[in-house]
Amino acid sequence: MTLVQANRFSRTLPTRETADIELPPELEGLHDLAYNLWWTWSSEAQRLFASIDPLAWSRYHNPIELLINVAPPEWEPLLAEEGFRASYARVMDRLGSYLAEPDTWWSREFAEHTDPDDLPVAYFSMEYGLHQCLAIYSGGLGVLSGDHLKSASDLGLPLVGVGLLYRSGYFHQTVDADGHQQHIYPKYDFTRLPLRPVVAPTGDELVVTVPVAHRQVRAKVWLAQVGRIPLLLLDSDIEENDPVDRPITGQLYVRGRAMRLLQEIVLGIGGVRALEALDIDPGTFHINEGHSALLQLQRLESAGGTGGIQLEEAFETIRQRTVFTTHTPVPAGNERFDRDLAKRYLGDWAARLGTSKNEILRLGSADLGDGDDSLNLTAFALRTSRYRNGVSALHGEVSRSMWRPLFPQAESDAEVPIHHITNGVHLPTWMGSNLRRILDQHCGEGWSTRTPEELMASVDSLADQALWDAHSAQKEALGRFVRRRLRDQLARHGRSPEDLRAVERYFDPNALTIGFARRFATYKRAKLIFSDPHELRRLISDPERPMQIVFAGKAHPADRPGQELIQHIFQLSQSEPFRGRVFFLEDYDIRVGQMLVQGVDVWLNTPRRPKEASGTSGQKAAMNGALNFSILDGWWPEAWDEQNGWAIRADHADDADQQQRDLADAQALYRTLSDEILPLYYDRGEDQLPAGWLQRMKRAIATVSPIFSSDRMVQDYARQAYWPQD
């Protein structure tokens, strides 16, 4: 049994070893390093693992799998290498210092005046994007949750995460020769991942029971350690369960509505029970999106039920310790369940709480005047939370208008008690090593915590050649990555050796490179740039100003229109004149995302305003010096200053129909590309550097890195939501 220090405000969590790893005594620290996901944002730790077996690391990017497969004799030559031993000592020293550091942002800002009863925060999310080897995420929401935990760790916040552990994760994507998206669901062996079962006080592996429709579903609790932060993950695929219940945690965002509701019952109710079993009594519960809102039922039962009073009144005490973040105005993103289905699986909870089924459903009524009487988990969470927020300033406005019917006391949208905390991203995870190295050297340690004005003064003095060289190195790495992926893809399609050899001429590192990578929902308008094929053909075929576009993204297996978008773009990429200039990369994940945001010149974002609640991929790109070219939606209206990127601004009436808006936006896109972006990129001085472009790159780095980091985001949650001082 291994003891893992969660953080100073939650007791040490005991876990059980499951992987067969043999290490020499001199390197036994590799075990703790591999099981702490701190390595996912330490480039030095990753280089250390890669030096053990470069081929295995390139294949798995998973230290547990790597260490399992190292035979004892293979350690001898590594132990003989002075460089390896020195690297090992440095990494272990840094991890030890990181975990033991008492002087954190939280300890300085909050420790002295925070009641211990208000600790820790329990952060619930349906998905977590921590690293591609742990496939319990699908996209933006998961990556946001992962970045939240990483920054909470860096800042020293007393926080514990709770989620589900999916046996098949989210699907792996391939695209066949006709452009059809294919869905592959592998079965993961959790013992070969950076996870360990949590041990209960009895000494057995911790298993919690969740009441569901006259039966008990059991969930085993696993631990993923994220720096200082423990992440508890629930797994129903265990022998104690009926075979029909084992698949509950089989796939992330499973299609079936009954199974989806069961997932959210296990997440919410099972998650609270797991915390109780470990004697962790959170001061605040953060419901990150409505998926986990049903945790409120378990909290109310643990508090003694309704006690004969009205359900909404009974929730008052619980409400005071609840924070809820809504992430989307799109209906599909706000979980709704048919009334009869909700009664079938939640009916027992009425009796357990001393209330009626209709009272539970009433709290989850959206009440938006559309006759919908389903259980809406966003509405349920909004009604049972003290602090509610959207994820950008614009999304806050949209949410206040959208959910005003739930707050009849509000006389205007402005009075609706929904705030906003704009999303951010974890800079150490997303910034390329080449760029990070020169900024650390030039700007000094802690540069990303400075104000934009202070940082701009420092970045502005960075030599243009140094910045361009760092960016070019990352761009060339992206080119190698793109060619390798495309070659593997075309080989699977049975293309000829000549076709495969031609891939080596793809991706010109000197061409303006645009990146577009996100979930392929139709409102994100992935094909807007193809609206006028003749104009696009003119732009990409210009020998004096070449341009190329890299696409990546998945469509949900149930989203046929999204899959048709992928097929359309893939087929265009295989036809003249787009072949070799337009690329679609399969299986969008964290690794693909990192390569793209670190290597492209321009990040394209074309949603239908105001449906993009925040969007964080553009923030990652801007930190790497890529210039955003975006509709003024989500986070971009807060960041754009007319010098750190471009806005797609079209002249159309407010009441214009969707087709007219799309056409106007496309025309604005082409006009800005042709008249501003391409000329600036190719305006070179005698030194062959694009001075004007580099100035915008510097401004993007300086204006986005401090303000749109997940450190700032988590600090905002601490001050405004978790421990408000007013």
Q: If you average pLDDT over residues 67-81, what whole number do you get? A: 96
Does the pLDDT value for residue 368 go beyond 70? no
Residue 3 banded pLDDT, cuts 50, 70, 90: very low
Nearest to 56 by CA among 192, 167, 166: 192
Q: If you average pLDDT over residues 697-715, what whole number do you get? A: 98
pLDDT for position 213: 86
Q: If you average pLDDT over residues 239-254, what whole number do you get? A: 97
438-447 CB burial, b ≥16 within 10 A, e <16: bbeeebeeeb
Q: Which CATH superfamily is domain 105-423+715-722 in?
A: Glycogen Phosphorylase B; (3.40.50.2000)
Global pTM value: 0.96
Distance, CA of 328 to CA of 402 (rounded, Å): 11
Determine which of 330-339, 357-366, 535-544, 563-572 has the lowest per-residue pLDDT on average. 330-339
Helix (H) or strand (E) holding 121: strand 121-124
pLDDT for position 654: 61
Nearest to 581 by CA among 551, 622, 625: 551
pLDDT for position 655: 67
Instruction: Tell me if 123 sits within 8 A of 272, measured CB to CB.
Output: no
Q: Tens of pLDDT along 523-554? A: 999 999 999 999 999 999 999 999 999 999 99
pLDDT for position 8: 46
Structure tokens at 156: 């020293």
Residue 330 banded pLDDT, cuts 50, 70, 90: confident
Q: If you average pLDDT over residues 661-677, what whole number do you get? A: 96
Whether the ω angle into residue 201 lies within 30 degrees of 0, i.e. cis, is no
Q: Tens of pLDDT along 138-194? A: 999 999 999 999 999 999 999 999 999 999 999 999 999 999 999 999 999 999 999
Q: Tens of pLDDT along 411-422? A: 999 999 999 999
Mean pLDDT across the chain: 94
Does the pLDDT value for residue 4 go beyond 70? no
Which fold is adopted by the domain 451-708?
A: Rossmann fold (3.40.50)
Distance, CA of 69 to CA of 73 (rounded, Å): 12
Cβ–Cβ contacts within 10 Å for residue 410, how many?
16
Q: If you average pLDDT over residues 12-36, what whole number do you get? A: 95
pLDDT cut 90: percent of the chain above it: 90
pLDDT for position 102: 93
Q: Where in the chain is the domain with CATH 3.40.50.2000?
A: 105-423+715-722, 451-708
Nearest to 328 by CA among 297, 291, 360: 291
Residue 653 banded pLDDT, cuts 50, 70, 90: low
Does the pLDDT value for residue 7 go beyond 60? no
Cβ–Cβ contacts within 10 Å for residue 228, how many?
27
Structure tokens at 314: 């009974």
Does the pLDDT value for residue 371 go beyond 70? no
Half-sphere exposure of 158 (CA within 13 A, CB side): 25
Distance, CA of 362 to CA of 312 (rounded, Å): 10
pLDDT cut 70: percent of the chain above it: 97
Distance, CA of 579 to CA of 582 (rounded, Å): 6
pLDDT for position 113: 84
Distance spanning both ends of the chain, measured CA to CA = 44
pLDDT for position 5: 47
Nearest to 681 by CA among 512, 535, 465, 468: 512
Structure tokens at 191: 């013992």
Nearest to 627 by CA among 643, 611, 612, 613: 643
Q: Tens of pLDDT along 204-232? A: 999 999 999 889 999 999 999 999 999 99
pLDDT for position 557: 94
Determine which of 7-16, 158-167, 342-351, 398-407 has the lowest per-residue pLDDT on average. 7-16
Determine which of 94-108, 347-361, 681-695 has the lowest per-residue pLDDT on average. 347-361
Distance, CA of 374 to CA of 356 (rounded, Å): 16
Which parts of 392-523 fold into alpha helices (H)?
Answer: 393-402, 427-430, 433-443, 452-460, 464-492, 497-502
Residue 369 banded pLDDT, cuts 50, 70, 90: low
Residue 310 banded pLDDT, cuts 50, 70, 90: confident
